[in-house]
Chain A
Amino acid sequence: MPVVELSYSRLQKLIGKVSKKQISDSLPFLGLDIESEDKDLVRVEYSPNRPDYSTDFGIALGLQGLLGIKTGPIKLNVKKSNKYPISVKSTVSRIRPFVTGIIAKNGKIDDKTIKQLMTMQEDLHFGIGRKRKKSSIGIHDLDKISFPLVYTTTTRSHKFIPLNSEKELSISEILDTTDVGKDYGSLLGQSPQVPIILDAKQNTVSFPPIINASVTTVTTKTKNLFVEVTGLNKDDAEDMLSVVATVLQSAGFTLESVKITGAKNSSPKLEYRKMSVNSSLINQILGLNLTSSKIISSLKKSRLDASSKGTNIVCTIPAYRFDIFGPMDLVEEVALGYGIQNLEPTISPSQTIGQTNSISLKLKSLDQTMIGLGYLEALNSSLTSKRVLYDMTNRDSTKLLSVLDSKSREHTILRDSVLPGLLENLSRNIHESYPQKMFETGTVFATENPISEKISFSGISAHKDANFTEIKSIIQSALNIGFGIKIETKTATNSTFEEGHCASILLNNIPIGIVGKIDSKIIENYKIRVPVVGFEISLTDSILKN
């Protein structure tokens, strides 16, 4: 989850009369996890469904509600204006069809505000923007731009000075040489045309969703902002814009509209939605018995608006709360406004009878039997490596089952056998005293129709006198005492075991596993200095069947 850094003193200024302790006590009840704290600074993790919490401005609005300082919805005051037209050319419709935007004026932009806005932008790009694919934002210095603007396409040879650069680069050069170009260039596909926002003087404002022009860079001298959002879906673009507009207004800017026309685009509405929820659903889900007025005041603390209509509560939801899908989301808003800490946990007696799964019971009984036989239980990962699974044990790797792009080299292949892991365990414990006797039961995987998962049971014994007879006795007793199963053994050859000391384990003449002395070359591979005997049995089709 994303992290945002806050300053208590800044928050106190934004919220109003509130102590540092009140803030730190309340943050978790807004759904913000405190990650670390250092004097005035606090780092909190926020949920990706609340991008308004990516800035202290947004968090301050939430805290005002929760603490009862200012409740009810945040009303966006957008002054209608015709001074800022953007026309959209139909050529963008196949690449990145929608654009929307807003003007924010007369704000104070200090370093901290710039930092907050940049964090918000990055988080929006990553989260709801899906790494700029669905929607992306550009924030510009309004006074460097001449309206009207046009959102259109251009060729890859189009040149401008991009942000953080001093020289003019072509689109192709930007895509090939800059970090953002390399990271996001693929979003534009192979098309020879790319989207571009140009101003009235034909100057480049932005090359969405990659980079802004250098000329519109926001600095601490900037007074007025132009924000544009482009994207694949009109609603997504406006959702993102609503977050930015709300944050900018609470940062002290006054908002003015831009006028967007052309190619199915239109000016953003940033309107409230209405949604109703039955108060009995709220009370049922929360296990409470709240009056309508208590529900309404709780919703207001969550910075929504509400009124009652019969047993229904009709809610007014600001545009930036697009995380609210339906009635259950409103139930949660009531819970937050009411205060999770005020919900008293209760327990109703169970009307049902609990039951352990029969497979779990059988496996537990097997564990007990093996312990009685003096074997220690080991647990290994089911995701392991080719080295352990095949190379070291001299097993056939043609049917290996691997995962894509593992971050850990030791965890790339799903095991088809438990025994190699146990041998690996022995090799890591050669300094420990012998005898070493271990067992493990675990899931093994095979590429069948499409994947079979079976439970396998393996045991090993390592000490200077380890021999076939010993291990056959163990498996024989374990199955007989554990499950009343009598097995037979029949001479077999297997690359893991020594010839002449290896047998397949038969149950009613059907092979269910293998037992024997581990081949001396494998013992050497693992640098083990004593003989090792072992077995492996598939439990799923023989013992665990009903």
Chain B
Amino acid sequence: MSQVFHDIEKKIITSLRADLKQSPEMLQNSTGLSLDQIRRGIEWLKLKDLAIVDESSVSILSLGKNGIESLKMNLPERRLLDLLKDGPRKLSDLQKELGTIFGPAMGLCKKNNWIEITDNQISPIFVSADELPGEKTLKQIGTKQIPKSLVDENDLASLLNRPDFIIDTPKKTKEISLTDTAMKIELSNSSDAIDVEAKVPEVFVARTHPLKDTIDEIREIFVTLGFSEILGNMTQSSFWNFDALFTPQDHPARELQDTFYLDRINAKKIGTPEQIKKVSESHKKNWRYQWDINEARKMVLRTHTTCVTIKHLAENKPDEARIFSLGRVFRNEKVSYKHLVEFNQIEGVVVGKDASLKNLMGIQREFYKRIGITKIKFWPTFFPYTEPSLQTMVYNEKLGKWIELFGMGIFRPEVTKPLGITQPVLAWGGGIERIAMLKYDLDDVREFYNNNLGWLRSAKKCQ
């Protein structure tokens, strides 16, 4: 297939075929294109390996003060010789007429034996010549700036030593030539074609946040697995965040250094009197301490979405249900490449007679399969509110090791019974950022919340 060339390219190629090496300025003359068009055309041709650009430094000549004067009034020696056209003249007269240039003119004419001096008389030996040395160069340069290469070197030499005649400025220039391919290439006649292979400016796509894409994907998977979404507040009473989930009030996780408590704010109503009574009884009986309602009133930023789930179950007491809750949770930790104070968590529960640990593992396996993770295993672990409890380990090919992903288990009777939930509840959950990091190949979780446009604009959509 023959290549398509832009008109600019065609003109440049045609011109260079006739005149093999040209500067951009010369091309400007020979093609009638603007310098900007020439520059672009050369870039395109260079990218296609059709043009060669040699960059070199050349001398650019222009006239100095004395040079310009000589251009207007002729060279001093020419003016002296002109005055001697009609025969010998008196030295003093010539001196008067020529002024400051008299000296240099005399010196030069004497050196070349063009004149003879006797007493106070100057006589010509040689009066007229077609061109004196330097005159050709003066005319050639004129008021322009021209490359040294265009000037007769011998003629120029006569001016170079004279003060203020010639200014020599070094200048970087480009010399464009064609490659062998370009010499032979066939130029089509169509004139409206554009260069479809040329680079174009980058535009940025408006998009959802990459983390949000993962969140939406996970929400979608849960829905297709038959789960319905519930929402809840991020600020919660300690009662629902901890007490209802069988976490004793003196448990280390409830301390200020792990949990965000709201300054000076306590919940007025935390639950029904029956809920409060039964939950506190379960604590007193099993954990053996004085349960304090004021501790349960303290408002926290939820440390998991499980508080939303347990509240929903306590209010609705379903016999069968598949529900999930997804949202931000908080931990009072030092921010690092693997820790955020605020991150997203997904949490799902299955309520029902048939709920079993094997089934819970099966749902996990299906979930991971749908997000593209197939290498998984289950290990036992401990959570205060589930028994038995497991964690999923997934194999990270990049790190070459197993990493912990979701936790899961069956809600303890010590959690469900006081709240009137009679059926077994399978529960599992985990951080979404961890999954998103695997998907976007990030090793610093903070990147998700930096809103660095460079990354947001360039991160690839994950399927």
Contact = CB atoms under 8 A, between A and B. Distances in A.
Interface of A: 28-31, 33, 47-50, 126-127, 130-131, 133-134, 233, 235-236, 284-288, 325-329, 331-332, 335-336, 340-341, 343-348, 350-357, 359-360, 364, 367, 370-383, 401-408, 410-411, 414, 425, 428-429, 432-433, 436-438, 443, 445, 447, 450-451, 453
Contacts of B410: 285, 328
Given A284-B356, A382-B234, A425-B451, 18 more contacts: A328-B387, A346-B358, A346-B362, A348-B359, A350-B226, A354-B226, A356-B229, A360-B231, A379-B449, A379-B451, A381-B449, A403-B261, A404-B256, A429-B453, A429-B454, A445-B235, A451-B233, A453-B235
A445 B233 CA distance: 10
Nearest to B268: A450
Contacts of B250: 130, 133-134
A407 B412 CA distance: 32
Which A-B residue pairs are the 6 nearest by beta carbons? Answer: A350-B226, A287-B356, A287-B358, A47-B382, A347-B362, A345-B361
B453 A33 contact: no
Given A345-B364, A350-B226, A382-B234, A438 B341 contact: no
B301 A332 contact: no
B379 A28 contact: yes
A36 to B, nearest CB: 11
Contact of A29 (B219, B260, B380): B380
B332 interface: yes
Q: Among the interface residues B387, B404, B413, which one has the most CB atoms of the partner chain A within 10 A?
A: B387
B388 A428 contact: no
Given A33-B404, A285-B357, A378-B209, A451 B299 contact: yes
A371 to B, nearest CB: 5
Given A377-B212, A437-B206, A443-B234, A352 B260 contact: no
Contacts of A374: 206
Contact of B342 (A284, A348, A381): A381
Given A47-B382, A335-B380, A408-B334, A429 B230 contact: no
A357 B451 contact: no
Interface stretch (B7-15, B61-69, B80-88, B320-328): B320-328
Contacts of B413: 326-328
Contacts of B256: 404-405
Interface string B413-441: 11000000000100000000000000000
A450 B261 contact: no
B233 A405 contact: no
Given A285-B357, A286-B358, A411 B341 contact: yes
27 contacts: A31-B380, A31-B382, A130-B252, A285-B357, A327-B413, A328-B387, A331-B388, A335-B380, A335-B388, A347-B362, A347-B365, A352-B226, A376-B453, A378-B209, A379-B209, A382-B342, A383-B330, A403-B263, A405-B332, A406-B260, A406-B332, A408-B335, A428-B452, A438-B451, A447-B265, A450-B266, A451-B233
A325 B380 contact: no
A341 B228 contact: no
Contacts of B363: 347
Given A346-B362, A411-B335, A47 B381 contact: yes
B357 A287 contact: yes
B379 A355 contact: no
Contact of A354 (B225, B289, B380): B225
A347 B366 contact: yes
A357 B229 contact: yes
Contacts of B263: 401-404
Interface size class of B (residues with CB under 8 A): 35 or more
B286 A325 contact: yes
A357 B230 contact: yes
B359 A346 contact: yes
Interface of B: 204, 206-209, 211-212, 216, 219-220, 222-231, 233-235, 250, 252, 256-257, 260-263, 265-268, 286, 288-289, 299, 301, 320-322, 328, 330, 332-335, 340-342, 354, 356-359, 361-366, 377-382, 387-390, 393, 404, 410, 412-414, 424, 448-454, 456-457
A331 B387 contact: yes
B322 A382 contact: no
Given A351-B226, A377-B208, A450-B299, A287 B359 contact: yes
Contacts of B222: 354
B414 A325 contact: yes
A221 B208 CA distance: 68
Given A29-B380, A31-B381, A351 B320 contact: yes
A437 B53 CA distance: 41
A453 B234 contact: yes
A326 to B, nearest CB: 6
A354 B235 CA distance: 26
Given A340-B378, A382-B342, A403-B261, A357 B231 contact: yes
B207 A401 contact: no
A407 B380 contact: no
Contacts of B219: 356, 360
Contact of B379 (A327, A340, A360): A340
A355 B261 CA distance: 33
A269 B234 CA distance: 47
A396 to B, nearest CB: 18
Contacts of B216: 364
A348 B335 CA distance: 40
Contact of A382 (B209, B231, B328, B388): B328
B294 to A, nearest CB: 15
Contacts of A335: 357, 380, 388
A31 B320 CA distance: 30
Contact of A347 (B359, B387, B456): B359
A62 to B, nearest CB: 11
Given A28-B379, A383-B341, A403-B261, A332 B387 contact: yes
Q: Among the interface residues A288, A343, A352, A360, which one has the most CB atoms of the partner chain B within 10 A?
A: A352
A353 B209 contact: no
Contact of B414 (A326, A350, A359): A326
Contact of A436 (B211, B320, B453): B453
A29 B380 CA distance: 6
A47 B364 CA distance: 23
A402 B260 CA distance: 9
Contacts of B354: 348
Contact of B225 (A286, A346, A350): A350
A352 B225 CA distance: 9
Contacts of A453: 233-235
B351 to A, nearest CB: 10
Given A383-B330, A405-B332, A286 B257 contact: no
Contacts of B341: 381, 383, 406-408, 411
B415 to A, nearest CB: 10
A373 B205 CA distance: 11
Contacts of B231: 357, 359-360
B365 A355 contact: no
A377 B381 CA distance: 37
Given A287-B356, A407-B334, A336 B380 contact: yes
Contact of B206 (A329, A352, A373): A373
A284 B354 CA distance: 7
B370 to A, nearest CB: 12
B173 to A, nearest CB: 33
B330 to A, nearest CB: 7
A331 B388 CA distance: 7
A94 to B, nearest CB: 15
A432 B257 contact: no
A392 B140 CA distance: 67
B388 A432 contact: no
Contacts of B389: 332
Contacts of A352: 226-228, 320-322
Given A332-B388, A351-B226, A377 B288 contact: no
A212 B249 CA distance: 29
A352 B322 CA distance: 7
